[in-house]
Structure 1
Amino acid sequence: MQSTDTAIDLDQVKSAVTSTLEQWKARLLDVSHSIHDNPELAFVEREAAETLAKAAEEAGFAVTRSAYGMETSFEAVRGTGDFTVVICAEYDALPEVGHACGHNIIATAALGAAVALGEVADELNLRVVLLGTPAEEHGGGKVLLLESGAWEQATISLMVHGAAGDQDISCTLAKTQAVDRFAVTYTGKVAHAAAAPDKAINAADAAVVAQVAIGLLRQQLSGTVRMNAFVEHGGEVTNIIAGHTVLGAEVRAFDLETLEDAKRRMLNCFAAGALATGCTWEAVGTEPRYEDLIQDPLLAQSWDANLEAMGRTVSHAAKGGGGSTDMGNISHAVPSIHPMIAVLGAKGVPHTAQFAADAGSEAGDQAALDGAQALAWTVIDAAGNPETRAELLQRQAEREPGATQVPAKF
């Protein structure tokens, strides 16, 4: 094993990583295309998880399937160093539009970075962990894995997400929103809509009142707060006044204090629906809360510099924001980054059929390969620079045992 006191030629190590990625190029793209062409929803990503696990085993990683009690998670480990990097692979898709968020790019970049770093793990005194993290779109897979201890040994954690555009946005400027998702149920009283409407308590009306109130509330909120609600169940037939309705709801903000205030005001809108109609109501969390994303400055600056060294254009003016990720929760527990990498020339925006097509295109392939290289180079900078390494290891040493096992909040 390489001593951490011995000077390491980081350029040489980066060159070795690049060579490994070139050797693995065809295999990596096979993985990306396989995941892209077989989209699977949250918590049932069996083919994607197995495809990645097998590839990791081919690269000499010890793989644990169904890691941390989650069926479609896996943990692949190579190296025994004291500096543990956890690289996150997402691979869930969206209903109807498949990989319209480009998770095949995320998974492939993570796999490539892990494979390449595994080849230099001894030289850098690394422990490389490729962690399969299901259910990012809905379900909070990382939040549940965090609670189960998946990051307890992590020094740093990172991943990369694809985006539309003609240039990359600086990682230091890329932000995401915290999001809280819940369901609201109204209970009223059914009655015949023509013969006895006066005997009913209309739960569908309660939903309408709440939605109107939310629409009016939006003008009083910060422009960065987002609210949405839709009727999951609104009645049965036209001649029965609905006695039961259910709305799915979410609220987003760039910090938790603003989120809490916005949710309180949104819940008042739902209370108004109950008050106006005479229904009873309850709100119940449906998914773990996603926290806002904290980009670690050391890692973010290194990421930007590495993209530019690779010949990509990085904008240090445009601000990336919007959307939410369960990587936010990880960033509150360990030093992390979640940068965006442009699928150059992509015309579709995320969560559209067009972006799903872009994610499977040659431009999507290149984003995955470039993302893998930039992730690996960023880890090399962190683990190979003595001062950076010492600071990150010190931060890890200062954590109390169990500090990363944050309970999921619903």
Structure 2
Amino acid sequence: MPSQATAVDVETLKKSVSATIGSWEDRLREVSRVIHGNPELAFEEHFAADTLATIAEEAGFAVERGAYGMETCFEAVRGSGEFTVVICAEYDALPEIGHACGHNIIATAALGAALALAEVADELGLRVVLLGTPAEEHGGGKALLLEAGAWEQATVSMMVHGASGTEDFSCAITHSQAVDRFAVTFTGRAAHAAAAPHKAINAGDAATISQVAIGLLRQQLPDGVRLNAFVEHGGEVTNIIPARAVVSAEVRAHDLETLEDIKERMLNCFAGGALASGCTWEVAPTEPRYENLVQNTLLAGAWDRNLQAMGRTVVHSSGLTGGSTDMGNVSHAVPSIHPMIAVLGATGVPHTLEFAADAGSPAGEQAALDGALGMAWTTIDTVTNPETRAALLELQAARRPGATRSPALG
């Protein structure tokens, strides 16, 4: 491609991808509806993955189903340029409440952006990768895919997430929390609760003491830190003092250093429960850790400008900071963005039945189309700016082989 695209070139490219998305609009709206109407849980997203992969094949992408050893992952590639953009499509739903996080919007936006960019990939010196990433809600699909090498050739990565409201928060100030999920197992000694309670070592007591200690610890924590736990197993019947109890837990914080510190303090609560009750205890991760989100400033600035150019309102005074995403792990490995895009007029809070309805509405479909265009325009701005392109390619070249393949379970 030329060393420097003129303003006219960029404008022409943006009009081209806009036209491509327009030509696919009816199909993209249908994709959003059918994925929304067929919710699938983590690692079970066969319908959604097949739907997206089939359309990518129709559009000339080289598609690998079951990519990176994950049954409901797919990788679709077009273009052979030096600059690789990996666009993430999430599509898992939540138990009972379906697409209450709007992953049908995420999947549709990713597909739309990939279809549009593929048509100008050769002109831009671009390699477009549409990556189907299962199990974001629980399971850490992206962490597993990182370990398998899915981002080894990536220059940048991006996706867009739906939100409620009438305005869009600036990508640069939109963050997420890191979260570490684990289970603690207490082991004691069973005995008859009436005939020989003095012979028992009560694992249920250890669980109770730990939860009380965690409740007290919450008073001494920094703002934004969250601790949660519940007793997954605490006994079988009332007349047997339990020899085994299992507590599932998680800790969230806005950075990994704080997370490590608070997790150690939380584990001390479990140690105290074991000590007081006389039990032994052990801890094991239940899924990969989700790292905090790091928005790349070059990409984030371009995203904000492009949303404004589309006529959307971008708010810079505050950002979304709650929740966690395994896209955070990707953002620590390669330059990335994970902006939010409003389902305009939606009032439901994500992870509720109300937002599930919003995600399946025409406004949800429009959010997906706008998100697709925003990612396509942001990619064009990035690869046609000589300084930005060079800086990002230098970062990629400086990465040692295997640098993105961090172990999913630490």
TM class by shorter-chain length? over 0.9
Deviation string 1:52-89 (CA, Å, 9 cap, x unpaired) is 10011111111000111111100000011111100000
- 2:112 aligns to what? 112
CA–CA distance in 1 between the matches of 2:255 and 2:131?
A: 27
1:286 counterpart = 2:286: yes
For residues 375-394 of structure 1, the aligned pairs below 5 Å read: 375-394=375-394
What are the ranges of 5 or more consecutive residues in structure 1 without an aligned counterpart? Answer: none
- 1:129 aligns to what? 129
8 A Cα contact 2:235 2:243, kept in partner: yes
CA–CA distance in 2 between the matches of 1:319 and 1:357?
A: 24
CA–CA distance in 2 between the matches of 1:4 and 1:23?
A: 30
- 1:61 aligns to what? 61
8 A Cα contact 1:3 1:125, kept in partner: no
| Worse-superposed segment, 68-77 or 189-198 | 189-198
Deviation string 1:271-324 (CA, Å, 9 cap, x unpaired) is 111111111111101111111111000000000000000000000002210111
Amino acid in the other structure paired with 1:126: L
CA drift of 1:334 comes to 0.8
- 1:179 aligns to what? 179
- Structure 1 stretches of at least 4 aligned residues deviating more than 6 Å after TM superposition: none
1:371 counterpart = 2:384: no
- 1:79 aligns to what? 79
CA–CA distance in 1 between the matches of 2:295 and 2:193?
A: 55
Q: Give secondary structure in 2 for the equivalent of 1:85.
A: strand
1:95 counterpart = 2:72: no
- 2:48 aligns to what? 48
CA drift of 1:195 comes to 2.0
8 A Cα contact 1:111 1:130, kept in partner: yes
| Worse-superposed segment, 332-341 or 394-403 | 394-403
CA–CA distance in 2 between the matches of 1:302 and 1:77?
A: 24
CA drift of 1:382 comes to 0.6
| Worse-superposed segment, 272-281 or 105-114 | 272-281
Amino acid in the other structure paired with 1:305: R
CA drift of 1:103 comes to 0.5
CA–CA distance in 1 between the matches of 2:400 and 2:198?
A: 61
- 1:158 aligns to what? 158
8 A Cα contact 2:152 2:404, kept in partner: yes
TM-score after normalising by structure 1: 0.98
CA drift of 1:206 comes to 1.1
- 1:308 aligns to what? 308
CA–CA distance in 1 between the matches of 2:375 and 2:274?
A: 50
Alpha-carbon RMSD across the aligned residues, in angstroms, is: 1.1
Deviation string 1:229-280 (CA, Å, 9 cap, x unpaired) is 0111111111221111111110011111100000000001111111111111
Amino acid in the other structure paired with 1:368: A
CA–CA distance in 1 between the matches of 2:2 and 2:223?
A: 52
Deviation string 1:364-402 (CA, Å, 9 cap, x unpaired) is 111111100001100000111222111111111111122
For residues 343-358 of structure 1, the aligned pairs below 5 Å read: 343-358=343-358
CA drift of 1:223 comes to 1.3
Q: Give secondary structure in 2 for the equivalent of 1:139.
A: coil
8 A Cα contact 1:4 1:125, kept in partner: no
- 2:295 aligns to what? 295
Amino acid in the other structure paired with 2:210: A
CA–CA distance in 2 between the matches of 1:88 and 1:319?
A: 22
CA drift of 1:6 comes to 6.0
Q: Give secondary structure in 2 for the equivalent of 1:184.
A: strand
| Worse-superposed segment, 343-352 or 263-272 | 343-352
TM-score after normalising by structure 2: 0.98
Deviation string 1:122-177 (CA, Å, 9 cap, x unpaired) is 11111000000011111111111111111111111000011111210000100011
8 A Cα contact 1:4 1:124, kept in partner: no
Q: Give secondary structure in 2 for the equivalent of 1:151.
A: coil
> 1:73/1:4 Cα in 2 relative to 1: closer, same or farther (>3 Å)?
farther
Deviation string 1:165-214 (CA, Å, 9 cap, x unpaired) is 12100001000111111001111111222222222111111111111110
Deviation string 1:341-382 (CA, Å, 9 cap, x unpaired) is 111111211111111111101111111111000011000001
CA–CA distance in 1 between the matches of 2:372 and 2:172?
A: 19
Q: Give secondary structure in 2 for the equivalent of 1:216.
A: helix
Q: Report how many residues are paired.
A: 409
What are the ranges of 5 or more consecutive residues in structure 2 without an aligned counterpart? Answer: none
8 A Cα contact 2:88 2:158, kept in partner: yes
CA drift of 1:409 comes to 3.0
- Using the aligned pairs only, state the percent identity: 72
Q: Give secondary structure in 1 for the equivalent of 2:96.
A: coil
1:10 counterpart = 2:10: yes
CA drift of 1:5 comes to 5.3
- 1:326 aligns to what? 326
1:395 counterpart = 2:399: no
CA–CA distance in 2 between the matches of 1:185 and 1:402?
A: 34
- 2:236 aligns to what? 236
- 1:361 aligns to what? 361
8 A Cα contact 2:5 2:384, kept in partner: no
Amino acid in the other structure paired with 1:193: A
